[in-house]
Amino acid sequence: MSKLSFHTLIAALILIQFGSPLLAEEQSISEDRALLTEQQPVLEDSKTNKKKNEDVYHALNFFGSVLQRVQEGYVDDVPVSKLIDNAVEGMLSGLDRHSHLVDEKDFKDMRSQMKGEFGGLGVEIVAESGILKVISPMDDGPAQKAGIRAGDYITHVNGKLILGMNLDDAIKQLKGKPGTEVKITIRREGQKPLELTIKRELIKTRPVRGKREGDFAYLRVATFIDTNTADKLKEEYQKIKKDGKPIKGIVLDLRNNAGGLLDEANAVTELFLEKGKEIVSIRGKNHEDIQRFHARGGDQFKDLPLVCLVNRGTASAPEIVSAALQDHKRAIVMGEASYGKGSVQTVIPLRDKKAIRLTTQRYYRPSGATIQDDGVKPDLEVALAYIEKIDLGPRITEKDIPGGVRKKEQKTAKPEENNNDQVNDAKHDDEEKPTENVLPQKDDDEKKKDDTKKEKELEDILSKKDTKSDEKSKKELIDYQLERALDLLKSIVVYKDFMKR
């Protein structure tokens, strides 16, 4: 390609990108002369814009020179379209890890995810230090079933080191046709590498689950991708109430919720806030341009205490929910500090069925503090742990032990029976009294046999427990954070009842 053709290409690119907006601006100015006379700073802004455009022209000229050198000197022939796409991807990914070029296939994948169905492992990941970090595994997905946790690092996929691999390319390695297998290597803090073979499944996200926990309602929101999350949360709550027993409090579980739609986060939040309370504010490049979202309907659970569970896998949309409930003192936030993603990405369609995913705004909690990096810090910090119930066997009391002291039976003697009692007492005095607290004795051989048998039984029990402990899934263990949340609600209810006395 000649130098002239390259300059022609750059000139055309400049005209396409900047000519149309400038022409549109001139047209709008000519149609509204009165507006020009009122806004005097426009002339100064025009000078600033002119300087910016000159900088752009210079940068595009430099880009054209590099493009020419690559086409003329690179060892292989590469289509111009691929070079341009690579350049655009590099420009966007250099801004932050959330911004990137979206091709036609990525568009289809995004639509599948918005429908709540896609083939893969069911895990939300980000690139960190050149490798993949798990933000959260989806409920009942292949990754969660395989034991993958939030905070795990994926270092290899099918034996291939993914260090430095593009995030989208790495995700494509994990996705695939349902039923096919993928081998991954997991690194977990303080442990040796863990190799897992996981079968891909058609991931169907279920945004809300609910169940009764004694006198309390447990509502788990796994994702905000679904467009009816708030309605489904209300449906789950009504199912719990069907048994007729009163609900005395709610646990809202947002752990390992990797985000979703802003509108759904707002819709869920306003179920718990009074009308008019601010939920979140969004600010773009122009900090004066602030968009605020407020609760519209009113608190539908006003008289019920609320505990909101978060952890390191709570990211983006659920952070909006937990931050708003915390700032308005509507809920006690419990668990671990959340992930800290307080930015908004906008998908901007372009030509040729492509688009760019660009970070356009940051969101702020009602207090004005940012969520970005800091996350939501819990009111009560409770680390992730699981409690296993220990089977100690049947309860043994004093009465079960031979020779134990028995409780004294209280009997009231009738007056006319006193003489007979005295006679009976005299008879007992004449009889030989047995020696107290004397246990039947076994010979030494029998005792040794019993001890050996018990030791063997104990070893068998312990060995079975050790074997089962590795095989037990989390569902068979008690969720420590949830138990603490329920204990807190119980304490609140007891205190309220106490104050009513």
Catalytic annotation, pick one of 99, 136, 316, 338: 316
Q: Are 301 and 241 in contact (CB under 8 A)?
A: no
Active site residue 341: yes
DSSP one-letter string for 53-69: HHHHHHHHHHHHHHHHH
Contact predicate 93/99, CB 8 Å: yes
Burial of 123 (0-12, 13-18, 19+ CB in 10 A): buried
Cα 17 from Cα 21, distance rounded (Å): 8
Burial of 280 (0-12, 13-18, 19+ CB in 10 A): buried
Is the Cβ–Cβ distance between 343 and 80 less than 8 Å? no
- 476 is written with which tokens? 């068979």
Please indicate whether residue 242 is annotated as part of the active site: no
- Using CA atoms, how far apart are residues 314 and 251, in angstroms rounded to an integer? 15
d(CA 501, CA 499): 6
Handedness of CA 108, 109, 111, 116 (dihedral sign): positive
Q: Catalytic one among 232, 248, 341, 479? A: 341
- Of 152, 226, 327, 479, the catalytic one is 327
- The reply to whether 45 belongs to the active site is no
User: Cβ atoms within 10 A of the Cβ of 185, count?
Assistant: 18
Residues annotated as catalytic are 316, 327, 341
